[in-house]
Amino acid sequence: MLEEKNDLSQYKHPAVAVDVILFTIKNNILKIGLIRREEAPYLNHYALPGRFVRYDEPIEETAKIALKSKGNINPEAVFLEQLYTFGQDLNRDTRIRTISVVYYGLIDSGKIDILQGNKFHWFSVYDLPELAFDHKLIIDSAVKSLRKKVLESDFAFQLLPEEFTLSELQKAYETILGEELDKRNFRKKILENNFIKALKKKRREGLHRPAELYWFKRKN
């Protein structure tokens, strides 16, 4: 006996959205880029840049469009990687049952400074305003995950300029992790991991002697 085919039209369909958690490091503070909502619900509340997925849109393309349309920022300047899917709370959006695919967005603060007209407001992860939807839960989860990822991947390098010193790299790790690291052990592990390459040039840091510059060996 042939199995009866399901009539998909009889089911209610949830909406699928994409939200982007845009991280940067500025003045040795881990910050998140938020936008002020210009429509209900949560009018004038801060929120992550997001967008409902269109039928003919690849999900990562939706994330890029959200960055451009909501924050007026060039998505090609942002490193994107999928984090997690949120939808356990059936009422996370009062308009419609919504499932959100969340992306990390990582960007060097120097790139932000040269992107004219972006609409992002930057907040320390330790001092967030009142947020729309379940975005506080999402951010808390992302920060926790970021701290784990930075120890086992190249995430920290996505928040740095093309050229950096070992001191700047260590400071980036410390800013993300929220703790100080032993200088000797940190440098030993970084060099053993073979993530970076010396550029054979130096830069002076304050009154200290010039420090060696490095660059990240980006994957093809």
* More confident of the two residues 115 and 172: 172
Res 204 pLDDT > 80: no
Place of tokens 């400074």: 113
Each as own residue / partner, the long-range contacts of residues 55-64 (CB below 8 Å, 24 or more positions apart, any chain) are 59/18, 59/101, 60/103, 62/18, 63/18, 63/20, 63/103, 63/105
Structure tokens at 126: 């330790």
Q: Which CATH code, of 3.40.140.10, 3.40.50.1820, 1.10.10.10, 3.40.50.300, is assigned to 160-216? A: 1.10.10.10
Q: What is the pTM of this model?
A: 0.88
**How is domain 12-152 classified at the CATH fold level?**
Nucleoside Triphosphate Pyrophosphohydrolase (3.90.79)
pLDDT of residue 156: 93
pLDDT at 207: 66
103 within 8 A of 60, measured Cβ to Cβ: yes
Q: Is the model's pLDDT at 91 over the cut of 90?
A: no
pLDDT tens, residue by residue, 121-173: 999 999 999 999 999 999 999 999 999 999 888 899 999 999 999 999 999 99
All CATH 1.10.10.10 domain ranges of the chain, comma separated, are 160-216
> Alpha-carbon distance 197 to 165, whole Å?
11
| Contact criterion met (CB below 8 Å) for 79 and 159 | no
Token duo for residue 69: 């349309």
Instruction: State residue 1's pLDDT score.
Output: 42
> Which residues are 84's β-sheet partners?
102
Distance, in Å, from the CA atom of 100 to the CA atom of 7, rounded to the nearest integer, reads 25
CATH 3.90.79.10 residue spans of the chain: 12-152
Identify which has the larger pLDDT, 159 or 91.
159
**Residue with the larger pLDDT of the pair 8 and 11:** 11
